[in-house]
Homo-oligomer: A and B are copies of this chain.
């Protein structure tokens, strides 16, 4: 990492791209509760007004419906912020195999635009949502942050590319960066992924669910409340110019176990699991994802919610929020 520096202790005015999304809206909640000013910039392609509307009348909150391709609106809207949390992205890991442009366009191009808008407005702090997918099929488990990046999907590749662009701008313009490599997040406002898919299928047929892979891939998941506390532990305590942190926990579960937790939480313990087999797994998937969180733990952070409990809360949320 770079030389230590005295950070701006104050990050009072945040610009959150993708702030109406699952994770983004929880970040907004946290910052608003801390008395910070927040501008949410979101095109609502996957984000939802529902997730941020409780802040509408807060004088510290502002929502701009905008796209990151619209550089003029972006530059106008970002003005006056001192910190950026860039979450807007194409967040479907699977689709890059079919569509070779979408990750390039929505991750790399848009991150480049965000960095350019920061440079033009002299904004010095950037937090970025990267992913465990940047490691590809890691050879070390749990995987530390200094493991080589050999991604196996265009999603992972473009997120790694975004990290690199951030490093360059941070070097040119003395920015502080916080790069978070996330495992899968679960919890309230979760709205795509395996829990969503299984519940959708259960709704159609309670007797049997069809499932991709053979159930053997091992994955990590993190409850959103723990993720938010991890992020802000890093932003408050990490003091390098470049701060790269895995955001995960020490639990590893097979997709089969996770599916059982989902079915149990949904009261569907008699449902038959119909695994489509190894070859049905999507191209570029990483079948063993466990991140080292030693760096994060060294800052004093600990997760509080087990995966089983996190899945239960997610299932309850989805069943009650009419998002299925």
Contacts and interface: CB of A to CB of B under 8 A. Distances in A.
A164 B168 contact: no
Contacts of A251: none
Size class of the A contact interface (CB-based, 8 Å): 35 or more
B172 A151 contact: no
Nearest to A119: B100
Interface string A131-171: 00010110100000110111111101110110011011101
Given A97-B172, A171-B284, A151 B136 contact: no
A172 B284 contact: yes
Q: How many copies does the complex hold?
A: 2
Contacts of A100: 112, 116, 119
Contacts of A244: 148
B108 A168 contact: no
Contacts of A167: 136, 149-152, 157
A2 B136 CA distance: 10
Nearest to A283: B172
Contacts of A6: none
Contact of A157 (B116, B158, B165, B284): B165
A135 B158 CA distance: 18
A75 to B, nearest CB: 13
A1 interface: yes
Contacts of A146: 148
A242 interface: yes
Interface string A191-230: 0000000000000000000000000000000000000000
A47 B2 CA distance: 36
B168 A156 contact: yes
A152 B175 CA distance: 12
A9 to B, nearest CB: 24
Contacts of A145: 148
B283 A136 contact: no
Identify the interface centre among A153, A161, A242, A244: most chain B CB within 10 Å of its CB: A161
A306 to B, nearest CB: 32
Contacts of A90: none
A66 interface: no
A288 interface: no
Contacts of A97: 172
Given A152-B171, A156-B168, 7 more contacts: A104-B108, A104-B112, A152-B168, A153-B171, A154-B168, A154-B169, A161-B161
4 closest A-B pairs (Cβ-Cβ)?
Answer: A161-B161, A152-B171, A157-B168, A157-B164
9 contacts: A2-B150, A151-B164, A151-B171, A154-B165, A154-B172, A157-B164, A158-B165, A160-B160, A168-B284
Interface of A: 1-2, 96-97, 100, 104, 108, 112, 116, 119, 134, 136-137, 139, 145-146, 148-154, 156-158, 160-161, 164-165, 167-169, 171-172, 242, 244, 283-284
